[in-house]
Every structure is written in structure tokens, then in C-alpha cells.
Structure 1
């Protein structure tokens, strides 16, 4: 049996997941970041994408947006703006959001609006990618 550690995935609205896991893969700013029990302590920024965690040999996916993760040797907490299961994503709605964000980016608006549009595009792209992995 693999060693486990406690994982919490938390959004402002709810605790998305709390439980013992064998492994965790998170979308960090510099690429995917893998975590197992006994990991060195670290804090890292989370980018929109897919977080994956392994429970009893089975991998589960959560589509997450920006946030932070604190990793300790026996505990990891992932604090993100949103977290969704792939089967809960409305693919048509995510596609429309992606199209709106792409259109706003083409309009050459203010820097603030540019960064908001980039974030919206990243969220929509992550949701679309995650929805394609429904079980």
C-alpha cells in the first residue's frame, strides 16, 4: 500500500475535496507539479487547468482556476477560485465563454481588460479541456 497524505481542495464557496490521497498533480505556473507523501514543504501558485489526485489507486480530476497550494510532508491544501468535476461542466457554456474572451482580446482594450480577458480565456480553456475527460 502506498503512503498517503491529507489533501484539501478548497474554494471560497466550499470544500471541494478532503481526504487521504496517494498522489497529487497540480497545474503550477511553471508546469505540472507532482506531489507524494513526504514531499518537501513548498508554496506554489496554481494556474487554471486540471488537478489530479489518486485515491485507492484511482485517479480523479478537478478542473481548477487560479490560486495557491501549500504542500507539507503529510498535508497539502489547494486554495483555488473554483474547482469543478469534469462531469459538472456545461461544455456549451464554456465554449461560449471562450469565444467571448477571444473576441475581447481582439478588441485591443485597456490593459486591465486585457488581463481579465486572458484570465477568462484560461478558465474557459481549462473547463473545455476538463470536460473532454468525463468518465
Structure 2
């Protein structure tokens, strides 16, 4: 059995990460989804939150938003709307975004606006959680 597998984390703007990893943990609908080399093939939804992967014995954290992951025994491709390192996050900006999303949810707009606001709130909350881990 291999000790690593190929990981690609891709957003519409950039190729966030490409390389061999020993382990991957993704935020999923029902909690965290762990991946090791030799994993059974699966496609799964990725939820906003903190993903992490282990490369060369070191864990790396990534804040991701919604997307999908295709996983096989030899590789994992994670396609998400955004991916950021915790140190790239501006905590004050994330807090303001969270407040705006909460206000939009209180205003009871259209169903489409409701879903957009919930997504914005989830992203801001994940970003703030990551910055609190840094402190």
C-alpha cells in the first residue's frame, strides 16, 4: 500500500495546492471526512470550514468554501469556490462580512437571497474560526 496520494486543491481563481500527501481531512455535511492512501473511490460534497492535509509529516490548514471532492485510491481533487491559508485571512473583514450576512438573513429576502446569505455566513464563520485558532 502506498504511503501517499496526489492531492489537488483547485478554485476558480487558482491552483491552491498540488502535491503528495499522507492524509486529508475535509469538512463535510455530517462532520469531517478523512482520506488516506488507498481510499475507495467516492465523490463527496465539501462544506465551508477548515480542511487539513499532512505533507512530509506536517499538517497544513486550509479554509475552504463549498465544493466537491473526487477521491480515488491514488488521488484526491478538491474543487471549491475559495481556499485560503489561515494567515491570509483578515479577521476584521471576516467579522464585518459575518455581520452583513446575519443582517441579510434577518431581513427575510427572497429564497435565493436567503441561500446566498447563508453561504456568506458559513464562509465568514469558517474564516473567523481559523483566525481564532491562530491567536
TM-score (norm 1): 0.96
SS in 1 for 2:133: coil
- Provide the rounded CA distance (Å) in 1 between the counterparts of 2:16 and 2:133: 18
**Aligned equivalents of 1:108, 1:123: Cα separation in 2:** 20
TM-align CA RMSD: 1.2
Match for residue 48 of structure 1? 48
The number of residues matched between the two structures is 134
For structure 1, list consecutive stretches of 5 or more residues without a partner in the other structure.
none
> Deviation of residue 134 (structure 1)?
3.0
Deviation at 1:132, TM superposition (A): 2.2
Residues in 1 aligned to 2:134 and 2:73: alpha-carbon distance in whole angstroms: 31
- In 1, the alpha carbon distance for the partners of 2:10 and 2:71 equals 14
What residue is the counterpart of 1:68 in the other structure? 68
Query: Structure 2: any 5+ residue segments left out of the alignment?
Result: none
Could you tell me whether the CA contact under 8 Å between 1:86 and 1:132 is conserved in 2? no
Runs of 4+ in 1 over 3 A off after TM superposition: none
